[in-house]
Amino acid sequence: AARVPIPAGTYETMEQMQAHCNRCFRCALGQSRTNAVVSRGSMQAPIMIVGEGPGQNEDEQGKPFVGKSGQLLDKILASVNLSAEQDVFICNVVKCRPPENRTPTTDEAEACKGYLMEQIRLVNPKIILLTGATALKGLLGIKQGITKVRGQWIEQDDRLYMPIFHPAYLLRNQSRERGQPKWLMWQDIQAVKTRLD
Ligand code: URA
């Protein structure tokens, strides 16, 4: 069925969006969530980080990346002196937790996309980091594997995008050796920091 679009200019604050999302039933994920998960971080941030969707901790707390993946993400940011509170705005492709943390469907991502577009409009970040293939596909429609494209700058509509590994992937691949995912992530976040200065 066709969905009513979310027009640009619908929101002025993340609090408004949060309130709407807590009552959103644009897709079936609305029926199983505890809390919608809109964002954390600064609306003045030059960097936006887009994840896949809330997990259990995020669903319970109503904030993105507050579990193990989020702790690692904060450490990665801190390693180049970026603070999640001041320098970064963090959100997800879908605002409600998919059951058993499955990957959101294309339809769910599509249903939720208007919220993400509003977040991009309001924050107006210089750089958007896409963590994992779901964020890359959800926002830019690019269906490539993350290993192939991570670390590459993509310029589109006057904005800079970079696909990076998802922190959950790094938790499963702990080696810091040269060429391994954690080492590559370190290269990528340094390139981001350099681009910002
Ligand atoms: N993984 C994500 O992609 N997003 C979150 O908010 C938490 C874990």
Query: Quick one: pLDDT at residue 2?
Result: 76
Instruction: Output the CA angle 87-52-166, nearest 5 degrees.
Output: 70
Average pLDDT over residues 171-180: 98
Ligand 1 touching residue 59 (CB < 6 A): no
Distance of CA 111 from the midpoint of ligand 1 (Å): 18
Ligand 1 pocket: which of 69, 90, 139 to mutate (most atoms within 8 A of CB): 69
Distance of CA 37 from the midpoint of ligand 1 (Å): 10
Query: Quick one: pLDDT at residue 197?
Result: 84
Quick one: pLDDT band at residue 1, thresholds 50, 70, 90?
low
- 3-state DSSP assignment of residue 161: strand
Hey, what amino acid is at 156?
Answer: Q
pLDDT, tens digit, 9 for 90 and up, residues 8-31: 999 999 999 999 999 999 999 999
Domain 14-196 is found in CATH 3.40.470.10? yes
How many angstroms separate the CA atoms of 109 and 46, rounded? 24
CB neighbours (10 Å) of residue 5?
Answer: 10
How many angstroms separate the CA atoms of 2 and 159, rounded? 29
Residue linked to tokens 């980091």: 129
pLDDT, tens digit, 9 for 90 and up, residues 126-159: 999 999 999 999 999 999 999 999 999 999 999 9
Edge-to-edge strands, sheet with 159-164: 40-41, 88-92, 47-51, 127-131, 159-164, 154-156
CA atoms within 13 A on the CB side of 119: 32
Distance of CA 69 from the midpoint of ligand 1 (Å): 7
Ligand 1 touching residue 58 (CB < 6 A): yes
State the closest ligand 1 atom to the C-alpha of 168, by its place in the atom list counted from 1.
1
Distance of CA 182 from the midpoint of ligand 1 (Å): 18
Question: What is the ipTM for the molecules in this complex?
Answer: 0.94
Ligand 1 touching residue 54 (CB < 6 A): yes
Q: Is the dihedral of CA 164, 165, 167, 170 positive or negative?
A: negative
Contact indicator for 69, 84 with CB cutoff of 8 Å: no
Closest C-alpha to 64, from 94, 28, 20, 44 = 94
How many angstroms separate the CA atoms of 197 and 18, rounded? 32
Distance of CA 59 from the midpoint of ligand 1 (Å): 10
Ligand 1 touching residue 188 (CB < 6 A): no
Contact indicator for 66, 57 with CB cutoff of 8 Å: yes
How many angstroms separate the CA atoms of 74 and 27, rounded? 30
Q: Which two tokens stand for residue 187?
A: 């290269």
Q: Is the dihedral of CA 131, 139, 103, 53 positive or negative?
A: positive
Ligand 1 touching residue 41 (CB < 6 A): no
Give the mean pLDDT of the chain: 97
Ligand 1 touching residue 64 (CB < 6 A): yes
Q: What are the residue ranges spanned by the domains of the chain?
A: 14-196
